[in-house]
Protein backbone atom coordinates (compact mmCIF):
# COMPACT_ATOMS: atom_id res chain seq x y z
CA UNK A 1 0.00 0.00 0.00
CA UNK A 2 1.32 3.51 -0.61
CA UNK A 3 0.95 6.95 0.87
CA UNK A 4 0.56 10.17 -1.09
CA UNK A 5 3.96 11.49 0.00
CA UNK A 6 5.97 9.24 -2.33
CA UNK A 7 6.29 12.01 -4.90
CA UNK A 8 5.99 14.87 -2.44
CA UNK A 9 9.21 15.61 -0.54
CA UNK A 10 12.15 16.98 -2.47
CA UNK A 11 15.04 19.34 -1.88
CA UNK A 12 16.45 22.00 -4.14
CA UNK A 13 20.08 23.02 -4.48
CA UNK A 14 22.14 24.67 -7.23
CA UNK A 15 23.72 22.27 -9.69
CA UNK A 16 26.49 24.76 -10.51
CA UNK A 17 28.17 27.50 -8.50
CA UNK A 18 26.49 30.91 -8.66
CA UNK A 19 28.78 32.06 -11.46
CA UNK A 20 27.62 29.17 -13.62
CA UNK A 21 24.01 29.89 -12.74
CA UNK A 22 24.46 33.40 -14.08
CA UNK A 23 26.04 32.11 -17.28
CA UNK A 24 23.56 29.31 -17.94
CA UNK A 25 20.32 31.02 -16.88
CA UNK A 26 18.45 29.15 -14.18
CA UNK A 27 19.92 25.70 -13.55
CA UNK A 28 18.67 23.62 -10.64
CA UNK A 29 19.00 20.05 -9.50
CA UNK A 30 16.14 18.77 -7.41
CA UNK A 31 16.60 15.48 -5.64
CA UNK A 32 13.34 13.83 -4.59
CA UNK A 33 13.15 10.98 -2.15
CA UNK A 34 11.40 9.24 -4.98
CA UNK A 35 12.10 11.41 -8.04
CA UNK A 36 14.76 13.69 -9.51
CA UNK A 37 13.74 16.95 -11.16
CA UNK A 38 16.31 18.46 -13.45
CA UNK A 39 16.38 21.74 -15.32
CA UNK A 40 19.82 21.49 -16.79
CA UNK A 41 22.52 23.57 -18.46
CA UNK A 42 25.14 22.87 -21.11
CA UNK A 43 25.89 19.20 -21.75
CA UNK A 44 29.66 19.51 -22.07
CA UNK A 45 29.96 21.61 -18.91
CA UNK A 46 27.83 19.12 -17.03
CA UNK A 47 29.99 16.17 -18.09
CA UNK A 48 33.16 17.93 -16.98
CA UNK A 49 31.59 18.97 -13.69
CA UNK A 50 30.44 15.43 -12.95
CA UNK A 51 33.94 14.10 -13.50
CA UNK A 52 35.42 16.74 -11.18
CA UNK A 53 32.89 16.61 -8.35
CA UNK A 54 31.15 13.23 -8.56
CA UNK A 55 28.68 12.58 -5.76
CA UNK A 56 29.36 15.95 -4.13
CA UNK A 57 26.61 17.32 -6.37
CA UNK A 58 24.05 15.87 -3.99
CA UNK A 59 22.16 18.29 -1.78
CA UNK A 60 23.61 19.01 1.66
CA UNK A 61 22.36 16.78 4.45
CA UNK A 62 19.86 17.26 5.87
CA UNK A 63 18.09 18.65 2.77
CA UNK A 64 15.41 21.32 2.83
CA UNK A 65 12.24 19.48 1.83
CA UNK A 66 9.44 21.04 -0.16
CA UNK A 67 6.22 19.47 -1.46
CA UNK A 68 5.84 18.58 -5.11
CA UNK A 69 3.03 20.93 -6.05
CA UNK A 70 0.88 18.72 -8.22
CA UNK A 71 -2.53 17.53 -7.15
CA UNK A 72 -5.58 16.97 -9.32
CA UNK A 73 -9.21 16.54 -8.35
CA UNK A 74 -9.81 14.41 -11.43
CA UNK A 75 -7.45 12.88 -13.98
CA UNK A 76 -7.82 11.31 -17.40
CA UNK A 77 -5.28 8.51 -17.73
CA UNK A 78 -5.12 8.00 -21.49
CA UNK A 79 -3.65 4.67 -22.54
CA UNK A 80 -2.13 4.04 -25.97
CA UNK A 81 -4.66 1.34 -26.87
CA UNK A 82 -6.25 0.94 -30.29
CA UNK A 83 -9.61 0.93 -28.50
CA UNK A 84 -9.38 4.72 -28.57
CA UNK A 85 -9.49 4.89 -32.37
CA UNK A 86 -12.79 6.40 -33.58
CA UNK A 87 -13.92 6.76 -29.95
CA UNK A 88 -14.53 10.53 -30.08
CA UNK A 89 -13.47 10.73 -26.42
CA UNK A 90 -11.14 13.67 -26.98
CA UNK A 91 -13.51 16.38 -25.82
CA UNK A 92 -14.36 14.50 -22.64
CA UNK A 93 -10.68 13.87 -21.93
CA UNK A 94 -9.72 17.52 -22.42
CA UNK A 95 -12.40 18.63 -19.95
CA UNK A 96 -10.58 16.77 -17.16
CA UNK A 97 -8.40 18.84 -14.84
CA UNK A 98 -5.25 16.76 -15.46
CA UNK A 99 -4.54 14.60 -18.51
CA UNK A 100 -1.92 11.86 -18.17
CA UNK A 101 -0.27 10.17 -21.15
CA UNK A 102 2.46 7.58 -21.63
CA UNK A 103 5.68 7.32 -23.62
CA UNK A 104 5.51 8.79 -27.13
CA UNK A 105 1.72 8.52 -27.61
CA UNK A 106 0.85 11.53 -29.83
CA UNK A 107 -2.09 13.88 -29.77
CA UNK A 108 -1.50 15.57 -33.15
CA UNK A 109 -3.86 14.01 -35.66
CA UNK A 110 -5.72 12.06 -32.95
CA UNK A 111 -7.23 14.89 -30.90
CA UNK A 112 -10.83 13.92 -31.63
CA UNK A 113 -10.24 10.52 -30.03
CA UNK A 114 -7.59 11.13 -27.37
CA UNK A 115 -7.74 14.88 -26.69
CA UNK A 116 -5.07 17.54 -27.10
CA UNK A 117 -4.00 18.50 -23.57
CA UNK A 118 -1.21 16.83 -21.57
CA UNK A 119 -0.55 17.62 -17.92
CA UNK A 120 1.76 14.71 -17.14
CA UNK A 121 3.63 12.27 -19.38
CA UNK A 122 5.30 9.17 -17.97
CA UNK A 123 8.14 7.94 -20.20
CA UNK A 124 10.13 4.69 -20.20
CA UNK A 125 13.85 4.67 -20.90
CA UNK A 126 13.12 2.65 -24.05
CA UNK A 127 11.00 5.47 -25.47
CA UNK A 128 13.38 8.37 -24.99
CA UNK A 129 14.83 8.22 -28.53
CA UNK A 130 11.33 8.45 -30.02
CA UNK A 131 10.62 11.34 -27.66
CA UNK A 132 13.73 13.11 -28.92
CA UNK A 133 12.80 12.57 -32.57
CA UNK A 134 9.33 14.00 -31.95
CA UNK A 135 10.26 16.59 -29.34
CA UNK A 136 8.52 19.47 -31.13
CA UNK A 137 5.17 17.70 -30.72
CA UNK A 138 5.66 15.74 -27.50
CA UNK A 139 7.75 18.11 -25.38
CA UNK A 140 5.45 21.10 -25.60
CA UNK A 141 6.57 23.27 -22.68
CA UNK A 142 3.85 25.85 -23.40
CA UNK A 143 1.33 23.52 -21.74
CA UNK A 144 3.42 23.31 -18.58
CA UNK A 145 3.54 19.52 -18.91
CA UNK A 146 5.44 17.54 -16.28
CA UNK A 147 7.57 14.65 -17.59
CA UNK A 148 8.54 11.66 -15.47
CA UNK A 149 11.21 9.31 -16.83
CA UNK A 150 11.81 5.83 -15.47
CA UNK A 151 14.28 3.06 -16.19
CA UNK A 152 17.03 0.80 -14.82
CA UNK A 153 19.56 2.54 -12.61
CA UNK A 154 22.27 2.16 -15.27
CA UNK A 155 20.27 4.53 -17.51
CA UNK A 156 19.77 7.08 -14.73
CA UNK A 157 23.33 7.35 -13.38
CA UNK A 158 24.71 10.87 -13.13
CA UNK A 159 28.40 10.22 -13.86
CA UNK A 160 28.16 10.87 -17.60
CA UNK A 161 27.30 7.23 -18.41
CA UNK A 162 23.53 7.33 -17.85
CA UNK A 163 21.72 7.45 -21.19
CA UNK A 164 18.49 8.96 -19.89
CA UNK A 165 20.24 11.49 -17.67
CA UNK A 166 22.55 12.57 -20.50
CA UNK A 167 19.67 12.95 -22.93
CA UNK A 168 17.81 15.15 -20.45
CA UNK A 169 20.83 17.42 -20.30
CA UNK A 170 20.83 17.59 -24.08
CA UNK A 171 17.12 18.43 -24.09
CA UNK A 172 17.68 21.29 -21.67
CA UNK A 173 19.75 23.10 -24.28
CA UNK A 174 16.69 23.31 -26.51
CA UNK A 175 13.99 23.41 -23.83
CA UNK A 176 15.35 25.18 -20.72
CA UNK A 177 11.86 25.31 -19.16
CA UNK A 178 11.36 21.54 -19.40
CA UNK A 179 9.92 20.07 -16.18
CA UNK A 180 11.68 16.70 -16.17
CA UNK A 181 11.72 14.18 -13.34
CA UNK A 182 13.53 10.86 -12.89
CA UNK A 183 12.47 8.01 -10.63
CA UNK A 184 15.34 7.08 -8.34
CA UNK A 185 16.77 3.61 -7.90
CA UNK A 186 15.37 3.51 -4.36
CA UNK A 187 11.85 4.14 -5.58
CA UNK A 188 12.25 1.71 -8.48
CA UNK A 189 12.88 -0.97 -5.86
CA UNK A 190 9.72 0.10 -4.06
CA UNK A 191 7.70 -0.25 -7.26
CA UNK A 192 9.07 -3.80 -7.45
CA UNK A 193 8.02 -4.45 -3.87
CA UNK A 194 4.52 -3.11 -4.57
CA UNK A 195 4.22 -5.57 -7.49
CA UNK A 196 5.24 -8.41 -5.18
CA UNK A 197 2.78 -7.34 -2.50
CA UNK A 198 -0.12 -7.12 -4.93
CA UNK A 199 0.59 -10.24 -7.02
CA UNK A 200 2.63 -12.54 -4.79
CA UNK A 201 5.27 -12.68 -7.55
CA UNK A 202 8.83 -11.48 -7.32
CA UNK A 203 9.50 -9.34 -10.36
CA UNK A 204 13.03 -10.58 -10.98
CA UNK A 205 12.39 -14.25 -10.27
CA UNK A 206 9.36 -14.21 -12.59
CA UNK A 207 11.37 -12.47 -15.36
CA UNK A 208 8.98 -9.53 -15.36
CA UNK A 209 9.49 -5.99 -16.62
CA UNK A 210 6.99 -3.59 -15.09
CA UNK A 211 5.15 -1.65 -17.79
CA UNK A 212 4.87 2.11 -18.10
CA UNK A 213 1.20 1.57 -17.29
CA UNK A 214 2.18 0.19 -13.87
CA UNK A 215 4.21 3.27 -13.01
CA UNK A 216 1.58 5.60 -14.45
CA UNK A 217 -1.37 4.11 -12.56
CA UNK A 218 0.56 4.13 -9.29
CA UNK A 219 1.64 7.74 -9.76
CA UNK A 220 -1.92 8.72 -10.71
CA UNK A 221 -3.23 7.19 -7.49
CA UNK A 222 -0.91 9.49 -5.57
CA UNK A 223 -1.76 12.65 -7.51
CA UNK A 224 -5.45 12.27 -8.37
CA UNK A 225 -8.62 12.11 -6.29
CA UNK A 226 -10.47 10.47 -9.20
CA UNK A 227 -8.97 8.61 -12.17
CA UNK A 228 -10.82 8.06 -15.44
CA UNK A 229 -8.87 5.47 -17.45
CA UNK A 230 -9.42 5.49 -21.21
CA UNK A 231 -8.67 2.49 -23.40
CA UNK A 232 -7.85 -0.14 -20.77
CA UNK A 233 -9.58 -3.50 -21.13
CA UNK A 234 -10.50 -5.75 -18.17
CA UNK A 235 -8.03 -8.56 -17.40
CA UNK A 236 -10.20 -11.32 -18.90
CA UNK A 237 -10.95 -9.43 -22.13
CA UNK A 238 -8.57 -11.44 -24.34
CA UNK A 239 -9.98 -14.78 -23.13
CA UNK A 240 -13.21 -14.10 -25.00
CA UNK A 241 -12.86 -15.77 -28.42
CA UNK A 242 -15.11 -13.06 -29.89
CA UNK A 243 -13.15 -10.09 -28.60
CA UNK A 244 -12.66 -7.33 -31.18
CA UNK A 245 -9.22 -7.03 -32.72
CA UNK A 246 -7.58 -3.64 -32.24
CA UNK A 247 -3.98 -2.46 -32.67
CA UNK A 248 -1.72 -2.41 -29.64
CA UNK A 249 -1.16 1.34 -30.19
CA UNK A 250 -3.79 3.68 -31.62
CA UNK A 251 -1.06 5.55 -33.48
CA UNK A 252 0.20 2.36 -35.17
CA UNK A 253 -2.97 1.11 -36.91
CA UNK A 254 -1.06 -1.56 -38.81
CA UNK A 255 1.01 -2.63 -35.83
CA UNK A 256 0.60 -5.77 -33.70
CA UNK A 257 -2.76 -6.84 -32.34
CA UNK A 258 -3.33 -5.82 -28.73
CA UNK A 259 -4.47 -9.19 -27.36
CA UNK A 260 -1.73 -11.00 -29.25
CA UNK A 261 0.79 -8.73 -27.55
CA UNK A 262 -0.81 -9.12 -24.12
CA UNK A 263 -0.98 -12.92 -24.28
CA UNK A 264 2.53 -13.39 -25.66
CA UNK A 265 4.00 -11.29 -22.85
CA UNK A 266 1.85 -12.87 -20.15
CA UNK A 267 2.84 -16.39 -21.18
CA UNK A 268 6.49 -15.67 -21.99
CA UNK A 269 9.04 -17.51 -19.86
CA UNK A 270 12.36 -17.02 -21.64
CA UNK A 271 13.76 -13.56 -21.25
CA UNK A 272 11.91 -10.71 -19.53
CA UNK A 273 8.36 -9.76 -20.39
CA UNK A 274 5.68 -7.31 -19.35
CA UNK A 275 2.80 -8.96 -17.48
CA UNK A 276 0.04 -6.76 -18.85
CA UNK A 277 -2.83 -9.04 -17.80
CA UNK A 278 -1.43 -9.54 -14.29
CA UNK A 279 -1.13 -5.76 -13.90
CA UNK A 280 -4.72 -5.30 -15.07
CA UNK A 281 -5.89 -7.74 -12.39
CA UNK A 282 -4.23 -5.48 -9.81
CA UNK A 283 -5.82 -2.35 -11.33
CA UNK A 284 -9.21 -4.07 -11.31
CA UNK A 285 -8.74 -4.89 -7.65
CA UNK A 286 -7.71 -1.33 -6.82
CA UNK A 287 -10.80 -0.01 -8.61
CA UNK A 288 -13.01 -1.89 -6.15
CA UNK A 289 -11.82 0.41 -3.40
CA UNK A 290 -10.36 3.53 -4.99
CA UNK A 291 -11.92 6.14 -7.24
CA UNK A 292 -10.87 4.53 -10.55
CA UNK A 293 -13.23 4.28 -13.54
CA UNK A 294 -12.73 2.64 -16.94
CA UNK A 295 -13.97 3.94 -20.28
CA UNK A 296 -13.57 2.86 -23.90
CA UNK A 297 -14.35 0.08 -23.28
CA UNK A 298 -16.64 0.93 -20.36
CA UNK A 299 -16.45 -1.59 -17.55
CA UNK A 300 -16.35 -1.83 -13.79
CA UNK A 301 -15.12 -4.60 -11.49
CA UNK A 302 -17.71 -6.82 -9.91
CA UNK A 303 -18.09 -6.18 -6.20
CA UNK A 304 -16.76 -8.68 -3.68
CA UNK A 305 -18.40 -9.73 -0.45
CA UNK A 306 -15.22 -8.94 1.49
CA UNK A 307 -14.71 -5.28 2.24
CA UNK A 308 -11.28 -3.89 1.44
CA UNK A 309 -9.68 -1.33 3.77
CA UNK A 310 -9.89 2.26 2.61
CA UNK A 311 -6.13 2.63 2.21
CA UNK A 312 -4.23 3.28 -0.96
CA UNK A 313 -1.39 0.89 -1.80
CA UNK A 314 1.69 1.84 0.21
CA UNK A 315 5.26 0.87 -0.65
Tens of pLDDT, residue by residue over 52-72, are: 333 322 222 233 333 357 899
In tens, the pLDDT along 189-200 reads 888 899 889 988
- Whether the pLDDT of residue 226 is over 50: the answer is yes
pLDDT at position 283 is: 94
Q: What is the pLDDT of residue 287?
A: 96
245: domain range?
10-295
Whether the per-residue pLDDT at 93 is higher than 90: the answer is yes
Kindly report the length of the chain.
Answer: 315
Q: Would residue 304 count as lying in a domain?
A: no
What is the spatial distance between Cα 141 and Cα 175, in angstroms, rounded to a whole number? 8
Rounded CA-CA distance 120/102 in Å is 8
pLDDT at 231: 96
Segment 260-266 mean pLDDT: 74
**Mean pLDDT, residues 234-257:** 90
Tally of domains within the chain: 1
Global pTM value: 0.75
Tell me whether residue 311 is in a domain: no
Q: Could you give the percent of the chain with pLDDT greater than 70?
A: 70
Instruction: Tell me what pLDDT residue 16 has.
Output: 22
SS in 3 state form for 53-95?
A: HHHHHCCCCCCCEECCCCCEEEEEEECCCHHHCCCCCHHHHHC
Task: Determine the Cα–Cα distance for residues 148 and 181; give it in Å rounded to an integer.
Answer: 5
Given this model, what pLDDT does residue 95 score?
98
Using 50, 70 and 90 to split pLDDT, how confident is the model at 203?
A: confident
Which pLDDT value is given to residue 312?
58
Residue 66 lies in a domain: yes
* For residue 267, pLDDT beyond 50: yes
Q: Identify each DSSP E strand in 184-268 by its residue range.
A: 224-230
Band of residue 284 on the pLDDT scale cut at 50, 70, 90: very high
How far apart CA 251 and CA 130 sit, in angstroms, is: 13
User: Is the predicted pLDDT of residue 129 greater than 60, yes or no?
Assistant: yes
Assess whether pLDDT exceeds 90 at residue 295: yes
What pLDDT does residue 59 have? 27
Task: Give the CA radius of gyration of the chain.
Answer: 20
* Mean of pLDDT values over 1-8: 41
Question: What pLDDT shows up at residue 262?
Answer: 77
The whole-number pLDDT of residue 45 equals: 38
Per-residue pLDDT band at 208 (split at 50, 70, 90): low
Asked, for residue 314, whether it belongs to a domain, the answer is no
Q: Identify the weakest region by mean pLDDT among 57-61, 174-178, 292-296.
A: 57-61
Q: What mean pLDDT is predicted for residues 178-190?
A: 85
Residue 1 lies inside a defined structural domain of this protein: no
What pLDDT score does 175 carry? Answer: 82
- Measured CA to CA in angstroms, residue 293 lies from 50, 229, 231 at distances of 45, 6, 11
Residue of 21 and 232 predicted with greater confidence: 232
CA dihedral 139, 142, 144, 146 (to 10 degrees): 0
Residue 5 placed within a domain: no
Is residue 102 one of the residues assigned to a domain? yes
pLDDT of residue 151: 87
- Residues 190 and 290: their CA atoms lie apart, in Å, by 20
Distance CA(101)–CA(78), nearest Å, equals: 5
Residue 142 domain-assigned (yes or no):
yes
CA distance 212 to 214: 5
Please give the Cα distance from 269 to 280 (Å, whole number). Answer: 19
Cα 275 to Cα 211: distance, rounded to the nearest angstrom: 8
Q: State the CATH number of the domain containing residue 194.
A: 3.90.1480
Neighbours of 157 (CB within 10 A): 16
Mean pLDDT check: name the lowest of 20-24, 107-111, 121-125, 178-182.
20-24
Q: Is the pLDDT of residue 136 over 70?
A: yes
Amino acid sequence: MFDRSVLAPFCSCPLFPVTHLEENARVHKVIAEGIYSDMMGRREEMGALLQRQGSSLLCPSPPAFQPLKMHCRDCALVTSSGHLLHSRQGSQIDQTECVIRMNDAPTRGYGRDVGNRTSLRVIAHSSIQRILRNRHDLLNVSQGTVFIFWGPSSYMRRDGKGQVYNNLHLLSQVLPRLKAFMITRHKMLQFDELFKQETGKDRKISNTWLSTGWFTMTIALELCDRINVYGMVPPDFCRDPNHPSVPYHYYEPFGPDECTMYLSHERGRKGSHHRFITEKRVFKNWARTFNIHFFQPDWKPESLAINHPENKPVF
